[in-house]
């Protein structure tokens, strides 16, 4: 099959997948709205059911735009209009998917989530981001007769090969190291409590009692009794992830992975948690850092929660949300760098004819 033929086939595949997603997502929102089931939550509190219609409001134009790229009547619509529509809807879906990381963490440690409906909505929205953006890219490639991978117009049959492992640019590495270092105060604070120490006027025993009162799972409490804080453990995994994104060993399994050593790391393996994590932690941490800054200068009063004083609450807020902000932004930069550096390269599959 010729190269343009393969590109048209790819465009159709992504278009049909995105259209199928639109139907599923729209049906999900419609059923939820008609049955009075909230799909949007703020923390553990359901938001008004009327917001469910927003899902339908996204799914209908998404289905129309994707179908326009497949049906003959859609040729009358300028491709730039379709691309802008798809990308815009993808951004909206990204906003709807916010909180998916927290749901995944809650599921791992609590074996349940606050609302399966809300989690399903976030998961579907996240899938929509991928499919809508992929469809928009395929429209751009088919419109200009370009390769959907590299954007060039190939005149001969091409194949794909992985580039050699490389480190991220220096500025990205510096950001990654700063993001990793930002977790140190947070991990130290949480580990102090896990080991029974006192920080910000609260002892480890008090924190454990609070966790039990709030319904922490058996896994969470077992780790706490062993002196291991679950969130500190996740922070360590986050540091491992961000360092792998900027170093060559994040592209090839190292020797200590035994059977996998020397093999290429599938791109989706680090990019999936990285992109979801960045999309969650960066805005969440940035908003929290602004809140903490306003509290520091006295514009707002930081709620003390289970802590003795507002000052203690402010300190804990800086240690937590400040770390999320720095790490989230650094993770986004590292993930984008990894995405570019590991992008397969188009190479001609035709043998060169000696001159």
Task: Give the model's confidence band at 75: pLDDT under 50 very low, under 70 low, under 90 confident, else very high.
Answer: confident
Cα separation values, 333 from 100, 123, 196, 203, 330, Å: 20, 23, 36, 37, 5
Looking at residue 206, its pLDDT comes to 92
For residues 107-129, average pLDDT? 91
Cβ pair 317, 304 in contact under 8 A: no
Q: Which of the residue ranges 86-95, 167-176, 297-306 would you say has the lowest mean pLDDT?
A: 297-306
pLDDT beyond 70 at 244: yes
CA-derived radius of gyration, the chain = 24
Asked if residue 198 has pLDDT above 70, the reply is: yes
pLDDT at 94 over 70: yes
Q: What is the pTM of this model?
A: 0.82
Strand partners for 42: 45
DSSP 124-190: HHHHHHHHHHHHHHHHHHHHHT--TTT----SS-EEEEPPPP-PPPHHHHHHHHHHHHHHHHHHHHH
61-93 exposure pattern, b = at least 16 Cβ within 10 A, e = fewer: ebbebbbbbeeeebeeeebeebbebbebbbebb
Q: How far apart are CA 147 and CA 41, in angstroms?
A: 41
Residues 250 and 170 sit within 8 Å (Cβ to Cβ): no
User: Rounded distance, CA 262 to CA 265, Å?
Assistant: 9
- The rounded distance, in Å, linking the Cα atoms of 192 and 204 is 7
Residue 347's pLDDT band, with cuts at 50, 70 and 90, is low
pLDDT of residue 41: 92
From CA 215, how far away is CA 217, in angstroms rounded?
6
Kindly tell me if the per-residue pLDDT of 306 is higher than 90. Answer: no
d(CA 322, CA 190): 14
Q: Could you identify the residue written with the tokens 């900027």? A: 246
Which two three-digit tokens encode residue 67? 């179908």
Distance CA 218, CA 212 (A): 9
Over the chain, what is the mean pLDDT?
87
CB atoms within 10 A of CB 308: 12
Position 138 scores a pLDDT of: 80
Q: Beta 45-46 vs 41-42: how paired, if at all?
A: antiparallel
How long is the chain? 355
Residue-wise pLDDT for 130-151, tens only, equals 999 989 888 765 554 555 555 5
Residue 255 is predicted with a pLDDT of 85
Burial category of 174 from C-beta neighbours within 10 Å (exposed 0-12, middle 13-18, buried 19 and up):
middle
Q: What is the token pair recorded at 298?
A: 């006295």
Residue 44 near residue 172, CB atoms below 8 Å: no
* pLDDT surpasses 60 at 216: yes
Average pLDDT for residues 171-188, to the nearest whole number? Answer: 96
pLDDT given for residue 331 in this prediction: 97
Query: Hey, where are the domains in the chain?
Result: 3-155, 170-341
């Amino acid at each position: 099959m010729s190269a343009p033929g393969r590109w048209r086939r790819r465009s159709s595949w992504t278009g049909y997948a995105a259209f199928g997603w639109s139907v599923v997502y729209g049906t999900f929102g419609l059923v939820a709205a008609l049955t009075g089931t909230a799909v949007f939550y703020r923390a553990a509190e359901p938001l008004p059911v009327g917001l469910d219609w927003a899902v339908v409001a996204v799914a209908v134009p998404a289905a129309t735009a994707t179908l326009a790229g497949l049906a003959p009547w859609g040729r009358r619509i300028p491709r730039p209009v379709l691309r802008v529509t798809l990308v815009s809807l993808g951004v909206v879906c990204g906003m709807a998917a916010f909180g998916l990381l927290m749901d995944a963490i809650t599921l791992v440690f609590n074996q349940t989530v606050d609302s399966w409906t809300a989690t399903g909505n976030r998961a579907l929205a996240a899938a929509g981001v991928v499919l809508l953006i992929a469809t928009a890219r395929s429209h751009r490639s088919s419109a200009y007769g370009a390769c959907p991978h590299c954007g060039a117009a190939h005149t001969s049959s091409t194949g794909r090969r992985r580039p050699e492992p490389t480190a991220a640019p220096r500025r990205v590495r510096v950001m990654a190291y700063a993001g990793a270092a930002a977790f140190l105060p947070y991990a130290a604070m949480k580990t102090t409590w896990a080991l029974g120490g006192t920080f910000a006027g609260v002892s480890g025993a008090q924190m454990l009692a609070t966790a039990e009162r709030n319904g922490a799972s058996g896994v969470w409490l077992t780790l706490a009794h062993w002196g291991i804080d679950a969130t500190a453990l996740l922070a360590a995994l986050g540091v491992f992830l961000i360092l792998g994104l900027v170093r060559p060993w994040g592209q090839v399994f190292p020797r200590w992975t035994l059977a996998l050593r020397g093999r290429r790391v599938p791109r989706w393996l680090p990019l999936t948690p990285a992109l979801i994590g960045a999309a969650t932690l960066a805005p969440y941490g940035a908003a929290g850092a602004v809140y903490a800054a306003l509290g520091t200068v006295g514009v707002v009063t930081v709620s003390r929660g289970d802590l003795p004083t507002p000052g203690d609450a402010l300190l804990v807020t800086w240690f937590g949300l400040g770390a999320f902000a720095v790490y989230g932004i650094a993770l986004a930069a590292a993930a984008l760098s990894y995405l570019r550096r590991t992008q397969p390269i188009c190479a001609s599959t035709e043998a060169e004819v000696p001159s």
